Chain A
Amino acid sequence: EILMTQSPATLSVSPGERATLSCRASQSVGSNLAWYQQKPGQVPRLLIYGASTRATGIPARFTGSGSGTEFTLTISSLQSEDFAVYYCQQYNDWPITFGQGTRLEIK
């Protein structure tokens, strides 16, 4: 099973600043990585797939990058609605696995 490790567990950033979230895979997943955003009491929302392709309707301030074992989700100029928990997910191999999440909070 591929272990996905996200860092940091919690990230405190001020509105308008940039946030950088990391996701590491225990073995190469190529570009078979997705990112999701989840707000309290809500369903996860697809942000990025293929490591860097934004899903429909996702603002351009969300950027995914990386390949192999190291991935980054960058949110430029944080808006109030961006404060949430973010999960990475690999789909290169069975079973599909998620990271434990990074909580992005207002500084």
Chain B
Amino acid sequence: QVQLVQSGAEVKKPGASVKVSCKASGYPFTAYHLHWVRQAPGQGLEWMGRINPKSGDTNYAQKFQGRVALTRDTSINTLYLELSRLTSDDTAIYYCARDQNPRPSNWFDPWGQGTLVTVSS
């Protein structure tokens, strides 16, 4: 079945960077766009960016421009989110999510299980 399995929880200090991975299985990795969405504690969902795994092309929310990078390794069907210059406001659960359809759809199904990133001094 289609699965997105994310890396484990991270604790980082302010100013540091974090890199979260998302391993896809059960479908052709390069056929579907992938996204990152985050959720701060007790808060709503916030879209961060998208990558076309085939081309590597990306779109980012302007809020994160300059400190976010989405990359992928097609040899191991894995997507990465790197976020730099972390502050306490970046404490959140980070989800990877796949477009539902091969033709870019921008609605998400399935989702990874989430990775908690805690930023604390």
Minimum Cβ distance to chain B for residue A52 (Å): 13
A97 to B63, CA, bound (A): 12
B44 touches A101 (CB 8 A): yes
A34-B107, A46-B100, A49-B107 known; A98 vs B112 contact (CB < 8 Å): no
A96 within 8 A of B: yes
Residues of B in contact (CB 8 Å), total 22
A55 to B99, CA, bound (A): 13
How would you classify the secondary structure of chain A's contact residues: helix, strand, loop or mixed? Answer: loop
Of the listed residues A36, A44, A89, the one surrounded by the most CB atoms of chain B closer than 10 A to its CB is A44
CB-CB under 8 A for A43 and B105, given A87-B44, A98-B45, A98-B46: no
Residues of chain B whose beta carbon lies under 8 Å from any beta carbon of chain A? 35, 37, 44-47, 50, 59, 61-63, 95, 100, 105-109, 111-114
